[in-house]
Amino acid sequence: MKILSLDTSTKILTMAITEDGEVLFESERSAQEECNKFLFPMLDEMFKKTNTSIDKIDAFAVGIGPGSFTGTRIAVTVMKGLAYLENKPIIGVSSLDIIAYNLRGNVEELICPIIDAKRCNLYSAIYRKRSDMLEKISEYLLVPWSELLSRVGPKVFFLGDGINLYRKEILKKIPEAKIAVQYLWYPKAGNLGIIAYERIKEGRQDSVFDLVPMYLYPQECSVTVKKI
């Protein structure tokens, strides 16, 4: 099964094609500019390099945030459109799940992705390794950094762009905390495709009509919470 994956919820646009849980090709670039300007040229290049085409894609996967409101809306709209036109399944995955998946290897600590949510807040969730899978043990969170740090113990691994803002506070409050290298702070579309493949095997997919970005500011927009 070939899956086309896209996430634009952070400053990195990431796109990939996976097949049966293996990454065939992954591409990423800065999305500081309007990502819709280079999204489709990137897609064309990826199809050429993998000798494939849109009609050979079996399913679509998209990062639904939380993160950049504009970037996430673009990705969700594009992938829903492709899934509808091709009449193929679509799977929406929280960008927090995708980031946490970067540490799915031999990690004994809790895994805590943190995304800058502005206003001194963080988007986050807390995960732990269970066998070969990651288990989410909290809700998706929108909390002040101080409240988040009070929820985790000393054995915790942080990753995400929130580290740029709160590294000193984290290490002052939790000196034993581990900080992932910057390469692992952002969603990777290859991982998104792997997560989507596992969900499809479990019979889980989303409605192309009902799938929406995950926004956690209830006074501004709807709240959508999905299981990992």
Reported as a single tens digit per residue, the pLDDT across 186-208 is 999 999 999 999 999 999 999 99
Query: At residue 9, does pLDDT exceed 80?
Result: yes
Poorest-pLDDT segment among 26-40, 174-188, 189-203: 26-40
CB within 8 Å of 99: residues ≥ 6 apart: 113, 115, 159, 160, 184, 185, 186, 187
Other Cβ atoms less than 10 A from the Cβ of 198: the count is 13
CB within 8 Å of 141: residues ≥ 6 apart: 122, 123, 124, 125, 148, 216
- Output the average pLDDT for the chain: 91
- pLDDT-based confidence at residue 222 (cuts at 50, 70, 90): very low
Q: What is the CA radius of gyration of the chain?
A: 17
- Residues paired with residue 27 on neighbouring β-strands, in sequence order: 15
Other Cβ atoms less than 10 A from the Cβ of 221: the count is 13
Reported as a single tens digit per residue, the pLDDT across 57-111 is 999 999 999 998 889 999 999 999 999 999 999 999 999 999 999 998 878 899 9
pLDDT of residue 142: 94
Query: At residue 23, does pLDDT exceed 90?
Result: yes
Q: Distance between CA atoms of 199 and 24, rounded to whole angstroms? A: 19
Query: What percent of the chain shows pLDDT beyond 70?
Result: 93
pLDDT of residue 37: 78
